[in-house]
Chain A
Amino acid sequence: MLDETEEGHVTEDGRQIGGVLMEMRNITLRFGGVVAIKDISFDIRKGEIRAIIGPNGAGKSSMLNVISGFYHPQEGEIWFKGARRKPMKPYQVARQGIARTFQNIALFEGMSVIDNIMTGRLTHMRSGLFSQALWWGPAEREELENREVVERIIDFLEIQHIRKTPVARLPYGLKKRVELARALAAEPELLLLDEPMAGMNVEEKEDMSRFILDVNDEFGTTIALIEHDMGVVMDLSDRVVVMDYGRKIGDGPPEEIRNNQDVIDAYLGVAHD
């Protein structure tokens, strides 16, 4: 069971869960008169798989967009690695070590798979415009070093055969995998996955689940994911946040969430008597 100490704990399957990596404190997000997120607090611990679930329109994606810097909440604080985060632009968030994928695949369609994944290394590349214009020396060395990292990720996700294929020609399931590869290439501390299994068949879902577990296990990456498939969520995640109409109605390990009356009501509806 969950141990609430700062030092963290070890899960049943032997993974190390550390202290708090990211903490959302009393986040409220409004669009004009619409309240998308209302006074939500939760934390994400180092090394865990954290799921955010809820019915359509509950504010899950908005929450992810707040974390990645697309939306700026009107109230509340975001704490990352023990420091309060100032309002920042998405590219600054990326440089802090947060990568993500999108619900609707957001790959660069005009580029090959390898180039797409190489863009993920951007935050690790330093050489300036002039040294790149010359190519010889530092720029080439840096390019080749990063290429090696990218090739390891390609091996890991088993997409060697499509390395040079333009992304536009790939089927949906593979595109999802390439997008995951691009996010992984950044070697993020926190990986946000927005519905990684939307629109997949059972086989593809199994593959993707395996990759998510492997990423968490091998690289120790902390993962926060939004997913609709309850079976997947309950199997994968260490802790689950449940949202409904912008409010938090549940937070805890899967078995606890499964028996939470508010959650059952939100998903199945309540009889009015």
Chain B
Amino acid sequence: MAQDIMEQLDDMKKDALKEIGNIGAGNAATAFAQFLETKVDMTVPSVEILPISEVPEITGNIEEPVVGVLLQVMGEAPASILFILLEDSVERLVGMMADKEVDFSDLDDIDLSALKEIGNIISGSYLNALNKLTNFNLIQSVPECAVDMAGAILSTSMIPLSKTSDHTLLIKTQFIEGSQAIEGFFFLIPHTGSLEKILEALGFDLE
């Protein structure tokens, strides 16, 4: 049986990852607020280790159409960042940015690039925090976007991790803008060996 780091994460390591999530999300909220020129709050991120089979269900309905923005993280600890926005949130968010009525079933290229830009800002802020804490120089790729059923986007994004584990690490964050909750799911998906490197850089002895 392969050694599965996901099954060895104790509360202390989870707390450390949660703290990275917290700091990253705080940075991201600030960047996001500046971008939208409004006040944006973020909920405290939750860190969960899930069996891979449950992943397609984590945003709710597997078949529900969503927007997924995927970025590759390159450097010492390769990873993917996936940002998922549900239908209502996409309409509100793009509506806020473009100052117009937005119909999810009729998103154009400009709407999608606006969403990619949000993915860019959020993951950039997140990586900044991660780099500061670990002394890594992680950089991100150009974002890619897909509009399709949640389960298909989620399962595909988990592939790099699923090669070495039957579990996944999920950091979920929610933004709140004014009275309208815009719910975004943010996932950090460490590729093979990366979680170990992050934990070691944070001072954990994994031997």
Chains A and B form a bound pair: no
Interface residues of A (CB under 8 A from B): none
Interface residues of B (CB under 8 A from A): none
